[in-house]
Structure 1
Amino acid sequence: MELIPYSYEFQASLEEFLEIMYSYRGYKFDPTGLHSDIRNIENIYQSPGGNFWIIIENAALIGSVGLKILNKIDKIGEIKRYFVLPLYQGKGIGTLLMEHLLLNAKKNELHILRLDTMRKSIAARKIFEKYGFQEINKYNENEIAEIFMELKLKK
């Protein structure tokens, strides 16, 4: 198993992976609309100071997470596209992704991390709560998100 930063050579695999993950949750993956950030990872995540990571096992993409910078001045980041294939859930991969993302958020000197999620994302919500994320008021325009959370990072 290998945790690596996204590079364009993984684009097709990432889109196939996200197709599976959204379908699993009962949604349609829309890389030209609602999920168009996936086709512009370098500009949306990597260039502004965040990043996007994937986990590969036996040449298959099995997990992903993005760190998007929402506000450079107030040092606010957002967790995006935090997914682990159902077959691999419960094996510590979500925790590995979260630990890696938090380490990078601290390296970037972020003060706050935000995320949005759905009620049915029970495994992910357990990890968010384990790390101290608290529910907050809606902070973005995501129409399908039901829960909004925030973590204040220690300085």
Structure 2
Amino acid sequence: MKQKYQEFIIRDWQKGDRMAAAEVIRTVLEEYGLPWQPELADRDVIEIESAYLETGGEFWVVEKNSTIVGTAAYQPISRGQNAVEIRKMYLLPEIRGKGLGKYLLQELEKAIAVKDYQEIWLETASILKEAVVLYERSGYQPVNDVETERCDLAYLKKIHP
């Protein structure tokens, strides 16, 4: 996958992206006072091949001027009905407010729908207010099923009835 949105390139993750993608995620988490947990909740960022690519998921990076400034991913999960979870959707502060988050979410949903999944789950922290607004405006319904320690909100969207 490779596409353009405004001045950004969104493309599939490559091995050489590992540390830059991890740094984007660590930076955003720390900006909001959330812990970077490479041994726990963020282990999938270090092990993208086994966590995403080998399980039928996808991991994308967002570039501006050949620098990684954002990430977005999904992976199949066992909870729910034929479900995936959107994970690691992070954008550096300087590129927010341009509609990129909404665009990424819509593109993830399209990629997921093509594979005939029925449900999209995601978890977030209420301190990530912009993300919460985006998910709720995009039709995600709150559920009481948080599995990640640093998260306090979970959402579900059914895409194929």
Counterpart of 1:7 in structure 2 is 14
Counterpart of 1:126 in structure 2 is 133
* 1:63–1:93 contact (8 Å) kept in structure 2: no
2:48 alignment partner, one of 41, 49, 55 = 41
Q: How many pairs align?
A: 154
1:152 aligns with 2:158: yes
* 2:52–2:75 contact (8 Å) kept in structure 1: yes
TM-score by length of 2: 0.89
Question: Any stretches of 5+ residues in structure 1 without a counterpart?
Answer: none
1:97-119 deviation line (CA, Å, top 9, x unaligned): 10110011101111000011111
Displacement of 1:154: 3.2
* 2:146–2:153 contact (8 Å) kept in structure 1: no
TM-score by length of 1: 0.92
Displacement of 1:48: 1.3
> Secondary structure of 1:47's match?
helix
Query: Runs (4+) of structure 1 moved beyond 4 Å?
Result: none
After superposition, the Cα gap between the structure-2 partners of 1:97 and 1:150, relative to the gap in structure 1 and judged at 3 Å, is same
Letter in 1 for 2:31: Y
Question: Any stretches of 5+ residues in structure 2 without a counterpart?
Answer: 1-7
How do 1:1-155 residues align onto structure 2 when only pairs under 5 Å count? 1-71=8-78, 74-140=81-147, 142-155=148-161
State the distance in 2 between where 1:94 and 1:27 align. 20
